[in-house]
Structure 1
Amino acid sequence: MPGRRAPRETAGVDDGWEEQELRDRIESLLLRVAGGPRTAPGAHHLDPAEVPAPLSLERVVRWLEDSDFAYFTDSDGDVGGLWQGRLFYFLVLGEHEEVLQVRGQWHRDLTIERLEEILEICNAWNAERIWPKTYVRVRDNGTVVVCTDVTVDVEQGVTDDQLDQLLQCGLSTGTMFFDHLDAEYPDPLRAAP
């Protein structure tokens, strides 16, 4: 009869299985194939580290301590540290502390006469790469400060592994940009006379 499929042979499948048992076995198989958590059929227990938790400055500080990074807390309560001589801050922002920002600052200031060329470098970087966002700030005294930031909204929470990845991303991509600036503007004091 057209439009009807012939029944398929179900080699090794017991037709007496309960629907839930079959679902549990399929779920277990899919999780194994997809590399998901290994749990017994029907069990829905996740490792607490795999469950997204709210972002907090305490979690950022714990990450710094677990990574054996030296850090400080400034008079405003912001947490920062030096990486390869560059200043980085780890900020928890937003009305509900749902935004993570890793903000870096290059270790050298530029004169205002270099503003246009440094803006071109920042714009070229931003056009070619997702992270970090690069920008400049002009201080009241006319010196130019070059900054980076990686900002992520984690309103739905973040796992420890995700937090590690985001913090590492902020540090590593900021450092990459600052290395690029070091190549563009070699420090004359580092060259032999």
Structure 2
Amino acid sequence: MSIDPSSIPSFGMPPQQPGGGQPNPAPPVVVPDQELVKQLLDQMQLKHVVDEEGDLTAPWEGFRVYYMFRGDEGELFAVRSFYDRAYPIEQKGEILDLIDEWNRDTLWPKVYTHTHEDGVVRLIGESQMIVGMGVNLEYFVATTANWTNAAVGFEQWMAERLGLQKEVDGEGGESDSGSDES
């Protein structure tokens, strides 16, 4: 099964029906698998690899997004983001306040903390859906694309909220004003 590029969501107006006639038949219901997700990531032009545990991973600078099927029969599809930025345990309260705000204001990913034994706090984002009985192909494609975009958006949002935008944009960027004034 392959993904038709036109099935990647436009998030705009509903598509026009050819000739203004009857609506297109309902898209197929599929039981998604890793090959389907690979095709979607290829369509989205995202680099991806399969890690040593067999999970599909799309790496970004500063985080990785995993596309995983879990459960006895792979009936649970999860998109999980592991963010590399480490926070000291003393900053956990501030981080929790920020991710509470994110979780209240957005649908996905739901973000939580993981505190390592050495006191380093890291963030993980997660979105899940049950797919074992099948799912509408367009819905699966749109949701997976949205979850991926949201995982990237969270990293940018967090950097902005913590005043780390220089770190994200790269040190020594252009100044905000275009003038020669000091």
Instruction: Give TM-score scaled by structure 2 length.
Output: 0.72
Kindly indicate whether structure 1 or structure 2 has the higher relative contact order, using CA contacts under 8 Å at least 6 residues apart. Answer: 2
Structure 2 unmatched runs, 5+? 1-20, 174-182
Paired with 2:137 and 2:112, the residues of 1 have a C-alpha distance of 29
Match of 1:135 among 112, 117, 139: 112
Amino acid at match of 2:77: L
Residue 92 of structure 1 aligns to which amino acid in structure 2?
A: F
Pairwise CA distance, 1:85: 4.0
Residue 9 of structure 2: aligned partner: none
Moved more, 50-59 or 153-162: 153-162
Aligned partner of 2:76 among 81, 99, 102: 99
1:65 has 2:42 as partner: yes
Unaligned segments of structure 1, at least 5 residues: 1-30, 38-45
For 2:90, the aligned partner's letter is E
Amino acid at match of 2:141: D
Partner letter of residue 152 of structure 1? Answer: M
- The equivalent of 1:169 in structure 2 is 146
Deviations along 1:118-153, one digit per CA (max 9) or x if unpaired, are 111111211222211011111222111111111111
The letter of the residue matching 1:89 is Y
Equivalent of 1:86 in 63, 68, 85: 63
> How high is the TM-score relative to the length of structure 1?
0.69
The question of 1:74 aligning with 2:51 is answered yes
Report sequence identity in percent: 21
- Alignment partners' CA distance in 2, 1:65 and 1:192: 33
2:127 corresponds to: 150
8 Å contact from structure 1 (residues 136, 147) kept in 2 = yes
Asked whether the equivalents of residues 64 and 83 of structure 2 are also in contact (C-alpha less than 8 Å), the reply is yes
1:51 is aligned to 28
Deviation larger for 152-161 or 182-191: 182-191
Shift of residue 191 of structure 1? Answer: 4.2
Runs of 4+ in 1 over 6 A off after TM superposition: none
SS in 1 for 2:30: coil
- Aligned residues of 2:62 and 2:85 also touching (Cα < 8 A): no
- 1:178 and 1:67 map into 2 onto residues whose CA distance is 19
Aligned residues: 150
Structure 1 counterpart of 2:85, from 86, 108, 114: 108
Give distance in 2, aligned partners of 1:69 and 1:176.
15
**RMSD over aligned Cα atoms:** 2.3
Equivalent in the alignment of 1:184: 161
SS at match of 1:97: coil
The structure with more strand, counted as a fraction of residues: 2
Q: What amino acid does structure 1 have at the position aligned with 2:60?
A: W
Counterpart of 2:15 in structure 1 is none
